[in-house]
Amino acid sequence: MTRQVILGATLSALMITPSLAAEIAPTDVTYVEGAIEASLTGVPGDPVNGKKIMTTRALGNCVACHPISTMPDVPFHGNIGPELNGAPDRWTEAQLRGIVANAKMTFDGTIMPAFYKTGTFIRPGAGYTGKAPEGPLSPILTAQQIEDVVAYLMTLKE
C-alpha cells in the first residue's frame, strides 16, 4: 500500500505514464475562492476507496475530527469539525474538492490539514516517524485519493 503510494507519487512527479501525466500537481492547482473546478486526474473518483481513505489514520483520517453519520460501523468519530453528512447540500463538488485539497483556501486559518499540498511547512516530518523527510515531500493524499474522497462526499446528499 505504502509502496503503491510512493510509486504513484514518483511516477506522477516524473510524468511517465500518459494517464498520470494529466494529473495536476499540488503546486499547479488553481483555487477560485477556495474551489477547484476540474478533476485533478480526469479519472472519476471511487467512493468506496474514498470511504477507506477517510477512516485510515495515515491517510485522510477525517473521522478523527468529523462525525460522519453514514459510517456507523466506524468507531469513535471526533467532533472538532462539523458533521459531513449533507456536505454536498452545502457545497458544490468543486468547493468540496478545494476543501479536501487545501481547506485553508476556504476557511482561513482552519485546523483542518491541507491534504494536497507539498510546501511550505515548518519542520515537516517523514509521516508520523518524527524524523526529517528524506527527499521532497509527497502530499498526504494523491490526486486520485482526493478525487476518491470527493466522490464519497458527493454521496452524502441528505
Partner 1 sequence: MKLRTSALATATALGLALTGMAWAEPVEDTLTIETDDGQITMVTTAPAPAHLSDVMDTIYSGWHFRDAETRAMQMDDFDNPGMVFVDRGLDAWNAALGKNGESCAGCHQSPESMAGLRAVVPRVDEKTGKLMLMEDYINSCVTERMGLEAWGMTSKSMKDMLALISFQSRGMTVNVATDGAAAPYWEKGREIYYTRYGQLELACANCHEDNYGNYIRSDHLSQGQINGFPVYRLKNAGILSAQQRLIGCVRDTRAETFKAGSDELKALELYVASRGNGLSVEGVSVRN
Question: Which residues of this chain interact with ligand HEC, rule CB under 6 A?
Answer: 54, 60-62, 64-66, 80-82, 84, 87, 90, 96, 99-100, 103, 107, 110-113, 115, 149, 153
For partner 1, which residue of 35, 36, 96, 140 counts as binding (CB under 8 A)? Answer: 140
Locate cell 453519520: which residue? 69
Q: If binding is defined by CB under 8 A, does position 113 make contact with partner 1?
A: yes
- Sign of the C-alpha dihedral, residues 100, 104, 110, 116? positive
Minimum separation from the CB atom of position 87 to partner 1 (A): 9
**130 binds partner 1 per the rule CB under 8 A:** yes
CB-based contact 40:97 (threshold 8 Å) = yes
The C-alpha atoms of residue 142 and residue 80 are separated, in whole angstroms, by: 24
Q: State how far the Cα of 134 lies from the Cα of 82, in Å rounded to an integer.
A: 35
Per CB under 8 A, the list member of 26, 50, 60, 81 interacting with partner 1 is 81
Shortest Cβ distance from residue 153 to partner 1 (Å)? 14
User: CA-CA distance, 32 to 94, in Å (whole number)?
Assistant: 9
Nearest residue (CB) to ligand HEC, 19 versus 37? 37
Between 15 and 157, name the residue whose CB sits nearer to ligand HEC: 157
CA dihedral sign, ordered 51, 34, 39, 128: negative
Instruction: Please give the residues from 61 up to 80 whose contact with partner 1 meets the rule CB under 8 A.
Output: 61, 63-65, 67, 75-80
